[in-house]
């Protein structure tokens, strides 16, 4: 089986599995307990918090461990928005499903949500964003890297606009953490969401940074763990494995550009094409693609028959019938959106696998032409 769905999840690294097992055996205590076993677990937890904070370039006091990137997004958005005085939030039409879920909750509470479109290259227009700001704007939430097409948003420029108007800014960095340098903007934003399983860590573990200097309204009042922002006994083994992944994960951007360019060149002359940004705004390991006349789900199923795993977009959107949000946000038609599928590379992807993918895509393209 050729696995090309790393944007959905990654296999755990051996070193992270070993870290998880060691922590589960040797630091099984509750981090809030005052005895020695609790202290041992607490030491691992706080050491892991230091690792995440250092990689993010933020204060450790603002790092809260969560059960997922989804939980982190919802926790950050609702906590910050509800703490503000206004009832207006700015986001984009192409955010992760969890962000839209949080926005839907705020709408039911009387908030007005402005969802910005993407440009033809999948980028948010910073000028349009600034024009959308109102006196009652209480939050901006724009992702760093789009999970469907891999476009990189101008986070630093957005952060400067947010600071100009003293508006909290949340950034979903689930797809970019440990792949791009988030320290370029982390000190200018108020919330950052990350996840372990995108970088060789365990599923069911993530973290959110919430600026300690910002007023925050806890989502679950009265809980005691994680500074009162996230209840429940902390999964110390998962957190320790997450921190281990952060320390060992390596993103070879040159390798991924080479693989992307190899795939792009190999399908020239066919009905296969890429949905992408310019090189400066593109994460190379996420390839949004279409085959004219072929449903994305058909392509995914045919490739699965050939032993190749891909997706038709974000795994959290798998039941959506409207196509990928990114393409629609770019102004593309619904019919084109339904032809979308996503290839995503990881540390184990090889040139030989891309060649096999290329052969399979060409075969599918020929099948579609024959059907017509």
Q: What are the pLDDT digits (tens) for 125-136?
A: 999 999 999 999
Bridge partners for 343 per DSSP: 287
What residues form DSSP beta bridges with 195? 206
Number of domains in the chain: 2
For tokens 């060409």, the residue is 362
CA 107 to chain centre: 23
Instruction: Report the 10 Å Cβ neighbour count for 318.
Output: 12
The answer to whether 296 touches 339, Cβ cutoff 8 Å, is yes
Q: Which of the residues in the chain have pLDDT under 50? A: 318-319, 321-322
Do 291 and 227 lie in a common domain?
Answer: no
Last residue of a domain, one of 192, 221, 248: 248
Please choose, from the candidates 28, 58, 59, 69, the residue with its C-alpha nearest in 3D space to the C-alpha of residue 45.
Answer: 28
199, 229, 248 - which closes a domain:
248
Q: Give just the sign of the alpha carbon dihedral 199, 200, 201, 203.
A: positive
pLDDT score of 322: 46
232-282 pLDDT tens trace: 788 999 999 999 999 999 999 999 999 999 999 999 989 999 999 999 999
| Domain encompassing residue 80 | 14-248
Give the pLDDT score at 229.
74
Catalytic: 178?
A: no
Tokens of 247: 């320390």
Q: Quick one: 171 and 289 in the same domain?
A: no
Q: Which of 173, 287, 309, 316 is catalytic?
A: 316
What is the reported pLDDT for 69?
Answer: 95
Instruction: Tell whether 335 and 308 lie within a shared domain.
Output: yes
Q: Are residues 328 and 358 in the same domain?
A: yes
Tell whether pTM > 0.75.
yes
* CATH code where residue 199 lies: 3.40.640.10
pLDDT value of residue 318: 47
Helix (H, G, I), strand (E, B) or coil at 260: helix
37 shares its domain with 154: yes
CATH number assigned to the domain comprising residue 315 = 3.90.1150.10
In the prediction, which pLDDT does 323 show? 53
Q: 248, 265, 296: which is the final residue of a domain?
A: 248
Looking from the CA of 215 toward its CB, the CA atoms found within 13 Å total: 9
pLDDT attached to residue 321: 46
Q: For residue 21, how many C-alpha atoms fall within 13 Å in the half-sphere facing its CB?
A: 7
- Are residues 221 and 293 part of one domain? no
Q: Based on the fold, state whether residues 196 and 274 are members of the same structural domain.
A: no
Q: What pLDDT was estimated at residue 224?
A: 67
Q: What is the mean pLDDT of the chain?
A: 92
């Amino acid at each position: 089986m050729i696995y090309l769905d790393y944007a959905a999840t990654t296999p755990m690294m051996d070193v992270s599995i070993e870290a998880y097992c060691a922590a589960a055996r040797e630091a099984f205590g509750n981090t809030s307990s005052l005895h020695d076993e609790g202290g041992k677990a607490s030491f691992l937890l706080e050491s892991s918090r230091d690792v995440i904070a250092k990689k993010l370039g933020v204060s450790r006091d603002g790092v809260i461990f969560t059960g997922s990137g989804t939980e982190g997004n919802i926790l950050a958005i609702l906590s910050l928005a509800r703490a503000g005085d206004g009832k207006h939030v700015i986001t984009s039409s192409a955010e992760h499903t969890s962000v839209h879920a949080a926005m839907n909750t705020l709408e039911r509470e009387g908030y007005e949500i402005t969802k910005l479109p993407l440009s033809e290259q999948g980028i948010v227009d910073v000028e349009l964003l600034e024009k959308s700001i109102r006196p009652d704007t209480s939050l901006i939430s724009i992702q760093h890297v789009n999970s469907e097409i891999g476009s990189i948003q101008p986070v630093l420029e957005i952060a400067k606009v947010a600071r100009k108007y003293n508006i909290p800014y949340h950034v979903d960095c689930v797809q970019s953490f440990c792949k791009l340098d988030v320290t370029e903007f982390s000190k200018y934003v108020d919330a950052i969401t990350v996840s372990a399983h995108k970088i060789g860590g365990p599923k069911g573990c993530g973290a959110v940074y919430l600026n300690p200097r910002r007023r925050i309204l806890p989502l679950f009042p009265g809980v005691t763990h994680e500074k009162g922002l996230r209840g429940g006994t902390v999964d110390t083994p998962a957190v320790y494995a997450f921190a281990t992944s952060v320390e060992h994960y390596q993103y070879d951007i040159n390798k991924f550009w080479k693989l992307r360019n190899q795939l792009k060149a190999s399908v020239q002359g066919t009905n296969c094409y890429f949905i992408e940004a310019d090189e400066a705004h593109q994460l190379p390991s996420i390839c949004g693609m279409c085959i004219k006349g072929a449903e994305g789900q058909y392509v995914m199923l045919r490739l699965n028959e050939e032993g190749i795993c891909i997706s038709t977009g974000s795994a959290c959107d798998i039941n959506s019938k409207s196509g990928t949000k990114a393409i629609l946000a770019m102004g593309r038609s619904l019919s084109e959106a339904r032809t979308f599928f996503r290839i995503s590379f990881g540390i184990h992807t090889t040139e030989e696998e891309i060649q096999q993918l290329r052969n399979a895509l060409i075969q599918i393209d020929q099948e579609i032409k024959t059907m017509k």
